[in-house]
Amino acid sequence: MNRVVLCLSRAIARVTGSALGPYQTAVVRIGFAATWLLFLLREYPHRQELYGPDGPWDFGLAQRLTADNHAFSALLASDGQAFFEAFYLLAVLTSVLLLVGWRTRTMSVLFMVGVLSLQNRSVFVGDGGDNVLHLMSFYLVFTRCGQVWSLDARRAARARAEQERRPGADLVGPALWAFIGVLLVAAALTGRSGGGWLVPAVLWGAWAGAALRWAVGRWARTAEPRILLDVVADVLHNGALFVIMAEACLIYATAGWYKIQGSRWQDGTAVYYPLHLDYFSPWPALADLLSANGTLVLLVTYGTVIVQVAFPFTLFNRRVKNVLLAAMMTEHAVIAVVLGLPFFSLAMIAADSVFLPTAFLLWLGGRAARARHRVLRRGAPDLPAARSPEADEQPRVGFGA
């Protein structure tokens, strides 16, 4: 009995004492922000037809649909052209800032608003990757996804090194808070909160939480209020991280079990057919080459089902899980090229990244840092090293003396 109590107390301390998976959540943040950013940039010339007020799914149809399903979309606050252009550019900007990790708490909220608003404006645009991005953008709001690999982490490390513990000195945070507060109040007063109650409640909760955290950091005389807020933030982060992992497992489990029920998946020919659809054949020659080998089609068909069904059950075996994870990421990379679904594949790879081992992420981060250092060093001019005044008084020796 004492052992059970001890294990339970350790688990509670671990969940409430720290934000788990900092590198995994950072990769998820970077992956989904990059996916949405690339999608917005690629579709920028076609933004009017996809989400604009003059698109086939016009403003009136979108209003009628959201009135029935209570979906959130800030784009339904106005059908003006200037408002749409400003909102689209804001969605691009928030994706960039979330990608680099600048004010991640605020940017994750604005990122969610951009994703939900554009996708719910035209619900018939996109593929399965949009559904994953739709869900993950909501979950990211509750995570502390800027602990590492972000400008926020660099700023926090610099502040600790300089021993500058002055929360009231930050002017950008209160300015963003005030700006978002004005928008929320204006939306509430005009009745244009976007439909439904869940997303506006999250927005108001995040806004009030930011104000409370700033006030505690500025005026609290003891450390207990800050510790309490950190515990609440850690619990929300760990809960959201668990939901993200469960969502990814649910996606693969349901996809795998539904495939088992299909006759084409049972006889091993299911992969053959999408390779010969014009919509999913950007490289017809490559599709013909892959589908020409019946054994390869059979192995890929059965292998896809096996991996998807088995993956949730391998989470307790690290080695098997890593092998299947690599197989699934490779499969999505192939889908991106062969079937012409890059954003669906990027969204799924970003969701899969939550299961990557920390040691691999640290190795990957070290390689990226060294590569960045070499690039910056190659582009910087070679300057002579600084010398002390005492060194100038000594005779010069060596080459060029």
> Using one digit for the tens of pLDDT, what is the confidence trace for 327-337?
999 999 999 99
Average pLDDT, the chain: 88
Tokens of 209: 């939480």
Q: Could you tell me what percent of the chain has a pLDDT over 90?
A: 62
Given pLDDT bands bounded at 50, 70 and 90, which one contains residue 13?
A: confident
Which is more confident, 70 or 349? 349
Tokens of 227: 């510790």
Q: Residue 278: what pLDDT?
A: 85
pTM (2 d.p.): 0.90
Sign (positive or negative) of CA dihedral 167, 168, 173, 174 = positive
H or E element: which one contains 162?
helix 151-162
Locate the DSSP E strands across 110-218.
none
Q: Residue 172: what pLDDT?
A: 86
Summarised one tens digit per residue, pLDDT across range 39-81 is: 999 999 999 999 998 888 989 999 999 888 889 999 998 889 9
Given pLDDT bands bounded at 50, 70 and 90, which one contains residue 380?
A: low
Q: Residue 41: what pLDDT?
A: 97
Taking the chain, what is the end-to-end CA distance rounded to the nearest angstrom? 79
What whole-number distance in Å separates Cα of residue 51 and Cα of residue 131? 17
> Is the pLDDT score of 168 beyond 50?
no
Contact 40, 91 (CB under 8 A): yes
H or E element: which one contains 361?
helix 358-379
Burial code (b: 16+ CB inside 10 Å, e: under 16) for 158-191 equals eeeeeeeeebeeeeeeeebbeebeeebeebeeee
Contact 103, 152 (CB under 8 A): yes
> Is the pLDDT score of 189 beyond 80?
yes
> Is the pLDDT score of 82 beyond 80?
yes
> Is the pLDDT score of 352 beyond 90?
yes
Given pLDDT bands bounded at 50, 70 and 90, which one contains residue 163?
A: low
Query: Span 367-387, mean pLDDT?
Result: 70
What whole-number distance in Å separates Cα of residue 366 and Cα of residue 373? 10
Of the listed ranges 99-108, 212-221, 284-293, 391-400, the one predicted with least confidence: 391-400
Name the DSSP class of 313: G
Contact 24, 354 (CB under 8 A): yes
